[in-house]
Amino acid sequence: MAASGDEVKLLGAWASTYVIRAKIALQLKGVSYEYLEQQLWENQSELLLKSNPVYKKVPVLIHNDRPICESAIIVQYIDDVWAGTGPSILPSDPYERAIARFWARYIDDTVLASATIKIIKVKTEKEKAETIEQSFAGLSLLEEAYEKSFKGKPFFGGDNIGYLDIAFGSFLCWVKAIEKISDVKLIDEAKFPLLAKWAERFGSVAAVKEHIPETDKLVECYSKVLKALWNARAPNN
């Protein structure tokens, strides 16, 4: 268990869904920390390069001068180190923990990190339609998983938000931004009633609201920074 005098820093970028995960986890556990906003593509800080020399990206949690990288690992680390404070983030049951990790990885690899964000990166209407269908297919699987495994519970984590809620919920701000940019409704109550209600509940949690960027601010970020950056890179990057 962490000592009361621990020094905790979080290197992040305000628009990063992965940084949002770390912020929510720290908030749930009531951990005080120093937040250090980072430049991601140029003029990266020496602290970031030193703390994450392999990937050179955020988030990085620095606990007593020891860096921990990658959002999924950081969330689990926070849950383990501050186990005696706040609600548990990961399930205590080994099977339920494995299931939560599986779906969190699925979200990162397919549903949102690739398929959904690709909606605003494709060049043709045909590609856009195909990408939207891929997103709908992934969301359908999550809707089905929620109905089967978490029926009657307000969150994937049960009565309180947990690991999978944080993994999925951290993307919701960008889902809303993508919906506004592309004029496509993704988490539609008619198509995904359970996920739509879950998203409302998740967004209303105090520990979440404090760290979710406004949709218009993300749209502006995309228009001024990310659009040009993504267009300059290969389609699959």
Task: List the single range of 20-34, 91-105, 113-127, 201-215 with lowest mean pLDDT.
Answer: 113-127
Whether 188 shows a pLDDT value over 80: the answer reads yes
The pLDDT tens digits of the residues spanning 115-173 come to: 678 888 888 999 989 989 989 999 999 999 999 888 789 999 999 999 999 999 999 99
Structure confidence at residue 232 (pLDDT): 60
| Residue 152 token pair | 């009657």
- CATH numeric code, 94-231: 1.20.1050.10
Nearest-angstrom CA–CA distance, 215 and 5: 37
The pLDDT tens digits of the residues spanning 171-184 come to: 999 999 999 999 99
- Name the amino acid, one letter, at 47: L
Residue with tokens 């269908």: 133
Say what the pTM is: 0.92
> In the chain, where are the structural domains located?
8-81, 94-231
CB 104 within 8 Å of CB 167: yes
Nearest-angstrom CA–CA distance, 22 and 28: 10
Whether 30 shows a pLDDT value over 90: the answer reads yes
Whether 17 shows a pLDDT value over 90: the answer reads yes
- CATH numeric code, 8-81: 3.40.30.10
| Residue 74 token pair | 């950081």
The pLDDT tens digits of the residues spanning 75-90 come to: 999 999 999 999 999 9
